[in-house]
A and B are shown apart, each in its own frame.
Chain A
Amino acid sequence: MANLKDLKNRIQSVKNTRKITKAMQMVAAAKLRRAQEAAEAGRPYAERFNAVLGGLASASTGGDSAPKLLAGSGSDQVHLLVVMTAERGLCGGFNSSIVKLARAKAADLLASGKTVKILTVGKKGREQLRREYGDHMIGHVDLSGVRNVGYDNAQSIANDLIHRFNEDEFDIATIFYNTFESVITQVPTQKQVIPASFDAPEEGAEASTVYDYEPSEEGILKTLLPSGVATQVFSALLENAASEQGARMAAMDNATRNAGEMIDKLTIQYNRSRQAVITNELIEIISGAEAL
């Protein structure tokens, strides 16, 4: 049986761990609220943007003049997977679930003879993918210095993507991130951003409005498509940020509870052995007295 001193140290160290996880949980809760607000504030923009762009895009597809960002490069040989993860760990299955999805997709594409390139956003994804797909990585975006993701960050990622697309580095780009559903549920999601894909516009009211376009339909589409990529990247970043904090909060809550249970168990064990020691001493004293 472990001796008393060891047990006492063990209890103390678990208590310290519990303090840390408790603090991390509270920090995550505070950050979660902010991230959630940011994600919600960003939604109206993204929704409207996609509605307008979707309407424009469905009107102009089929024409030969459709911009390359919408029509694609005419091939689907080279796929770029943009894997967006967190910069830090200790957030449960958050990073792994994204990486798992990306890995499955990559394996799928490789099996069907496509070329796969990987761009990682966030340190954790790169660490997890490096061993298996290190040769496929073409870049990494570091956001560790960024406290709150802004539209600027999204824009620079999007510009990078568009630049690479124009250089014919890839044909299809897909982003991987976690959609924030609730504090306990985050859904790993993949979304194709280049060439742009839109949910089919609702039939009926929307379609019946005929808009005047200024300067021209093509002109607007040409200027808006790059922003569309940025908008999608931005909403993915926001969803990811909220999901990360949610996942971390849940993970740390679990860890705190586990630590509590462990402390209880260890304390019982400690008390038992303490009693055993006392009983032992008493027996020794009594039997010593009897022997006299």
Chain B
Amino acid sequence: MADTMQFDLVSPERSLASLQATAVQLPGADGDLTAMPNHAPTITTLRPGIVRVEAPEGNAEFAVTGGFAEITAVGTSILAERAVPVSEMTQDVLDGFVSDAAAASQNATPENLDELAKRSVDIEAMGSELGLSVKS
């Protein structure tokens, strides 16, 4: 049994990571999940949160704001709307995420009001997980 799998993290603007990983922890829309080699093929949407990658060369963490992940037995690829390595995640970046989410909530329709509200909360939770605060 292979003990590593291919992991790719791409955002529309650039490819952030492409490496062999042993496990990837994802913030799925319906709850966190961990993908390991030989996982059943799954496609899941992501909520704002932190992706943790365990790899032989060392672990990596990325903050993502949404998108989706495609998990197969031999690899996991995440297509994130926006992704930032946690080391580059500063208060400014978080504020940017928050203000974008707030702007989106401005023209919310009754249908997606809940969704957008949840998004803001998720971003806030992600911030506090990283030790950053959200100014209200």
A211 contact from B29, B42, B67, Cβ within 8 A = B42
Residue A270 lies at the interface, judged by CB distance under 8 Å to chain B: no
Given A46-B12, A48-B77, A223 and B43 touching (CB < 8 A)?
no
A-side contacts of B68, CB under 8 Å = 52, 220, 223-224
Give how many B residues have a beta carbon under 8 Å from the other chain's beta carbons.
Answer: 26
CA distance A38 to B33 in the complex (A): 32
CB within 8 Å of B: which A183-222 residues: 209-215, 219-220
B13–A214 touching, CB < 8 Å: no
A-side contacts of B3, CB under 8 Å = none
CB within 8 Å of B: which A58-82 residues: none
Given A214-B28, A215-B30, A48 and B45 touching (CB < 8 A)?
no
29 pairs across A/B with beta carbons < 8 Å?
A42-B12, A44-B10, A44-B15, A45-B11, A48-B10, A48-B77, A52-B68, A56-B43, A150-B13, A151-B81, A154-B12, A163-B107, A209-B41, A209-B72, A210-B41, A211-B43, A211-B70, A212-B41, A213-B44, A214-B28, A214-B30, A214-B33, A214-B43, A214-B45, A220-B68, A223-B68, A224-B68, A227-B67, A234-B12
A-side contacts of B79, CB under 8 Å = 45, 48-49, 52
A-side contacts of B42, CB under 8 Å = 211-214
User: Hey, which bits of chain B sit against chain A, CB under 8 A?
Assistant: 8, 10-15, 28-30, 33, 40-45, 67-68, 70, 72, 77, 79, 81-82, 107
Residue A21 lies at the interface, judged by CB distance under 8 Å to chain B: no
CB within 8 Å of B: which A207-249 residues: 209-215, 219-220, 223-224, 227, 230-231, 234
Chain A interface, >50% SS class: helix
CA distance A8 to B51 in the complex (A): 68
A231–B12 touching, CB < 8 Å: yes
Minimum-distance CB pairs A-B, first 9:
A214-B44, A212-B42, A151-B12, A41-B14, A45-B10, A211-B41, A211-B43, A45-B12, A215-B30
CA distance A230 to B11 in the complex (A): 13
A52–B45 touching, CB < 8 Å: no
With A44-B8, A215-B45, A219-B29 given, can you name 16 additional A-B contacts, CB distance below 8 Å? A41-B13, A42-B12, A42-B13, A45-B15, A48-B10, A48-B79, A52-B68, A150-B13, A151-B11, A151-B13, A212-B41, A212-B43, A215-B29, A220-B45, A223-B45, A231-B12
B12–A219 touching, CB < 8 Å: no
